[in-house]
Structure 1
């Protein structure tokens, strides 16, 4: 990934014209991986609270809502992403019920309402963009996620990297939830995979 993926100026310029883009895999494919974990969390007494980090111009939030999950908070540090997300939800459902917050995923404590916690945190390659800034931003992101997870909550992260969470100081136990083959242009192309990680606080 180019180094400027960590810079807000890159996303502002990109979202000025981009209205829809899905990183790595379609949102419905990612949702198929998330859903069994989401259904397990939904056995609780309260409605499942979902936090999506760095949603950009994806439609993953609409996949949650179409399955009845409306307590979804979508965070991005680029205000144009907020506009795009609300527009896509309104086009799909006729109104906006999910929450959209301008916040930096590496500084979640200052961006989210005080004391708010979530049962499920998801990101669709946001960890890859954050990691363009090195290990420290990823460590700050992970620490923020850990603090805003409810008891029993989990983080599901999609990445192009087979070693994205190898850093020793992350406060999570990490397992591979899915290994997804990337499309090939030619049958002779090497096998490349995208990685879906399940992270539980340790």
Structure 2
């Protein structure tokens, strides 16, 4: 599983995207569309960050959502897809900050497994390094900044909520809803609405992590196993796209 370190390297992605036409991380649109579509309006300004060569934006466009902006840090990908799909916007930018995007400029933001790429060199999800926490926090702060008031951010992830929710809720005024999906593997759809008060009674169960681990040993064992399975999918050991 050492080869996954290249996922943080833009040179790797430039080389890969030069020849690869499409790859879907974690899950296909039809696997989680029922969790996203009810919250979308046709005139929404949609941002897909870490878009890669996923066909998610193309599917949304075919469904009638025509105001779509795609962001990736691979210049090769952006140039290639700008020519192939000129009816959508393509911007080369780092998701850590989204500095090229105006404040409060999107109604919906979708991110699918992009944050995971920032933690590929972490030894344990229970004890992220300061660099990893800073990177994730920078991404989430950038998303919060460009998201319009009452806008929604969807994060599609294999990361267990006990690891993700505490980071999502750090110093940000939005709600957080966690929904599970998947068949053989368990994935999560995190839905945040900017300006909506969070349901802390529901979210507090995800804050059982302490400096020395977690209070519930069964949660610890289950989460470790499921997180390791998710990493195997992310690293290409298993292909859950079939």
TM-score, normalization by structure 1: 0.79
Question: How far has the Cα of 1:143 moved from its partner?
Answer: 0.4
1:17 aligns with 2:19: yes
- 1:179 and 1:88 map into 2 onto residues whose CA distance is 34
1:180 aligns with 2:164: no
Contact 2:154–2:190 (Cα < 8 Å) also in 1? yes
1:98 aligns with 2:88: yes
Contact 1:139–1:170 (Cα < 8 Å) also in 2? no
Matches within 5 A, 1:136-147: 136-147=134-145
Contact 2:180–2:188 (Cα < 8 Å) also in 1? yes
Contact 1:27–1:58 (Cα < 8 Å) also in 2? no
Map of 1:107 onto structure 2: 97
- 2:51 and 2:183 map into 1 onto residues whose CA distance is 21
- 2:91 and 2:25 map into 1 onto residues whose CA distance is 20
Structure 2: which 5+ runs fail to align?
121-130, 196-242
1:61 aligns with 2:57: yes
Select the residue among 19, 24, 30 that pairs with 2:32: 30
Contact 2:104–2:145 (Cα < 8 Å) also in 1? no
Name the structure where helix makes up a greater proportion of residues: 2
Contact 2:48–2:110 (Cα < 8 Å) also in 1? yes
Report Cα offsets for 1:76-122 as digits up to 9, x if no partner.
01012214434553xxxxxx2110000000021x222x346100000
Report Cα offsets for 1:144-189 as digits up to 9, x if no partner.
111111111010010111132332525143221x312243xxxxxx
Structure 1: which 5+ runs fail to align?
90-95, 184-191
Map of 1:199 onto structure 2: 192
1:124 aligns with 2:120: no
- 2:117 and 2:15 map into 1 onto residues whose CA distance is 15
Aligned residues: 179
Matches within 5 A, 1:66-81: 66-81=62-77
Contact 2:32–2:181 (Cα < 8 Å) also in 1? no
Contact 1:12–1:80 (Cα < 8 Å) also in 2? yes
